[in-house]
Chains A and B, each alone.
Chain A
Amino acid sequence: MTLIESLKAIVGEVNASEAELDRIAYGNAKAVVWPSNAEEVHKIVMLARRAGVPITARGAGVGLRFANDIIVDMSKMNSVITVANDYVEAEAGVLLDDVNKLLKGKVFPVQPESAKACSIGGMIAANALGIKAMEFGKTGKWVEEVKMVDGNGICLTLKGDALRHVVGLRGATGIILSAKLRLSDAVERTAELLKFNTLTAMQEKLDELKNDADVRNIEFMDEISSSLLGFGMASHLIVDYAGDKGMLKGAEAKEAWDARKQLPFVLGQKRYLNAHELQMPLESITRFLNLLRKDEVPCYGPIGLGVLCPVFRDDSSFASRTDYVYRQFNAKKRKTSNPETEKRVLELKAHYDPKNILSRGKFI
């Protein structure tokens, strides 16, 4: 029996394919398989183990899109299991947008820009960052429990500290089946849209805001970004406050954040598609932004966390020398993989996936 025949024997004729169009759709995959339940995922992993064939789980494909493996598309595992007052439990293939629609008076607070299409499993695997990251952190902060099938084919439930063995590891230790996510109260914040004619003035205000206990989020938009959003040719900060401190309330505050949510796409329409996520020391921010401004590179990001995202066009000369420039400013590019993560994944792999069949090449 060939591999594809074996896969079809597990999931049924129409749920496994090596047809050319399916392989193209999944980024030059060797084959694609669409499991419907935990038992099928277990059998797929056991088959891959026996055959020594790498497999990569995939959610909605809005982050990870390319893998020259057998792709395990989790889209058919799309049931919301429980919606309770303070948590929701859902299968990996459920879209965040579908979860949002079920919640009343509560929210899942991490809302990435891809919220309309991203899946719960994908968000956990990538430890996705949302739009108000300073207040809510990454997805992992809100994960209570994960059920997964590891590289040994064992179905596990991870909780507490053990969640570090799956969150953000891009499927390297296991295929996420379902997760229990904590919810937050849907609290309305007041906001302020602050305009700055100089970056020095912005930096001074930023220092002040960092010491303000009522501040929940600080988001930066440079001149180009602000101008494209219709805010005028000046740098801006959107500041979220607990309580009534902000001038923008209700719909007005929402409008400012909605505009910010659109920013990556508005920039994309101008061919600025290559965003770098940088962790910047606060003292370097002004000098760095001045440099970007000279090269007309737009930049935005949750500056309250010290994170900035310059965005480049493919033909940008600046993009070719970023590594050198970032070193000058002690800016760390937030990569999927770095030596520390690789070491940690290697240790975890020895336990969860000793044959290294899962997400091979993502880290090791």
Chain B
Amino acid sequence: MKCVECGLCKGKCPMVRAVLKETASPRMKGKLHNMERADKLAYFCALCGMHDKECPYNADVPVIKMREKLVKNGVELSKTKEMVENIKNHGSAFKE
């Protein structure tokens, strides 16, 4: 089921709790996914799974797939590129 944009996922989302802006919400990611729009905002997620757990409709907001699509289109954050290189070269995302 696609996101119905009810916003009930927001209360427990750690990203929303941290920045207190709707733009950071799983609902916004659901909205972008519904619009079939890929955006770097997909990286603004802790991947904690809370939005899946909290969604009363069991809607699908596939943040990892959204990121996958971005990477395929060459859209990546410099920090994630750096992390990939670190893993390749040092076996750790943080180079340590």
Contact = CB atoms under 8 A, between A and B. Distances in A.
Contact of B56 (A73, A78, A262): A262
B42 to A, nearest CB: 12
Given A60-B10, A95-B11, A269 B5 contact: no
Interface stretch (B17-25, B66-74, B78-86, B88-96): B17-25
B65 interface: no
Contacts of B11: 60, 95, 97, 116-117
A21 B58 contact: no
A34 B6 CA distance: 21
Most buried by B among A26, A93, A117: A117
Interface in A259-306: 262, 264-265, 268-269, 273
Interface string B1-37: 1001111111110000000111101001001100000
B35 to A, nearest CB: 8
A265 B56 contact: yes
B22 A61 contact: yes
Interface residues of A, number: 27
Given A25-B31, A262-B56, A78 B20 contact: yes
Given A75-B20, A265-B56, A269-B58, A61 B7 contact: yes
Nearest to A262: B56
Contacts of B56: 262, 264-265, 268
Nearest to A23: B23
A65 interface: yes
B21 A34 contact: yes
A60 to B, nearest CB: 6
Interface string A56-79: 000011100100000001011010
B22 A62 contact: no
Nearest to B41: A21
B54 to A, nearest CB: 7
Given A21-B23, A78-B20, A117 B31 contact: no
Contacts of B39: 21
A95 B12 CA distance: 10
Interface string A12-36: 0000000001101110000010100
A34 B24 CA distance: 14
Given A73-B22, A268-B56, A269-B1, A24 B31 contact: yes
A26 B8 contact: no
A26 B22 CA distance: 7
Contact of B57 (A24, A62, A269): A269
Interface in A110-132: 114, 116-117
A143 to B, nearest CB: 21
A363 B86 CA distance: 57
Nearest to B12: A116
A114 B27 CA distance: 14
Contact of A117 (B4, B9, B21): B9
A61 B9 CA distance: 11
A265 B25 contact: no
Contacts of A61: 7, 10, 22
Contacts of B1: 269
A24 B12 CA distance: 22
B41 A116 contact: no
Given A73-B22, A262-B56, A25 B28 contact: yes
Contacts of B22: 22, 25-26, 32, 61, 73, 75
Contact of B28 (A24, A34, A97, A273): A24
Interface of A: 21-22, 24-26, 32, 34, 60-62, 65, 73, 75-76, 78, 93, 95, 97, 114, 116-117, 262, 264-265, 268-269, 273
Given A24-B31, A25-B22, A264-B56, 18 more contacts: A21-B23, A21-B39, A21-B41, A25-B21, A25-B28, A26-B22, A32-B21, A61-B7, A73-B21, A75-B20, A75-B21, A76-B20, A93-B20, A97-B11, A114-B6, A114-B7, A117-B10, A268-B56
Sorted from nearest, which 9 A-B pairs have the closest CB atoms? A265-B56, A117-B11, A25-B23, A75-B20, A25-B22, A25-B28, A62-B7, A116-B11, A117-B8
